[in-house]
Amino acid sequence: MAAKRIPVVERIMNANDQVALENRRLFDLYGVHAINIMASPGAGKTALILSTIAALNGRRRVGVIEGDLASDVDAVKVRRVGVPAVQINTGGGCHLDAPQIRSALEELPLKELDLVFIENVGNLVCPVGFALGEHTRLGIASVPEGDDKPHKYPSIFSHIDALVVNKIDLLPYIPFDMDEFQRLVRTLNPQVAIFPLSCVTGEGMDAWIHWLLGLTEGS
């Protein structure tokens, strides 16, 4: 049985990658920059999206794809601030895949958007293995999770373009060595852009927004 499993997995991955390429072409056709957000549950993915929408203040037209095991609570939060959002429920799946994104894109007004955030399922392992057609991969780590995550989950930190370190307002109360954390991350990924910030207080948001505007300049 083990000998047959590898070709099956390869076919699944190849099929996903083909649809991911189609998604990328669709984003490019409409001039939309897609960001795949990956993090553990509770790291602040939705909070970052909402804070970013507020901080952009209309300078970019944003759409959101929300991935969760169940419910649409995050998509509802996004729609409440006037931003189009599509919910994907995986029903137990630990990550989003390209065909799911393809279906969601049919419900987004791509002609009216500059930027699409794809909030992946809360998980530090599975999402990084599946291309969605995104231009940028963003990881989020949070202070309460501890500063040892790069040791435990090296793959995700090695395969992202940018990293938000969220909840820095908790640094006075939780042991977290920011310098050592960033050193570990850069050992795995020397080119990654790192943004320590707080979605609650707004500290550090200016640098993140400046980078994001530069990333999507011309949109």
Report which secondary-structure segment, H or E, holds 150.
helix 149-152
Whether 112 contacts 145, CB under 8 Å:
no
Q: Is the pLDDT of residue 91 over 80?
A: yes
Range of the domain at 13: 2-215
pLDDT value at residue 9: 56
Q: Is the pLDDT of residue 3 over 80?
A: no
Distant-in-sequence, close-in-space partners of 90: CB < 8 Å, separation ≥ 6: 67, 68, 69, 96, 100, 121
pLDDT single digits (tens) 129-179: 999 999 999 999 999 999 999 999 999 999 999 999 999 999 999 999 999
Q: What is the pTM of this model?
A: 0.93
Q: How many domains does the chain have?
A: 1
Distant-in-sequence, close-in-space partners of 31: CB < 8 Å, separation ≥ 6: 114, 219
As a whole number, the mean pLDDT across the chain is: 94
Percent of the chain predicted with pLDDT > 70: 94
CATH code (residue 109): 3.40.50.300
Q: How far apart are CA 71 and CA 56, in angstroms?
A: 27
Phi, psi of 150 (to 5 degrees): -60, -30
Q: Is the pLDDT of residue 188 over 90?
A: yes
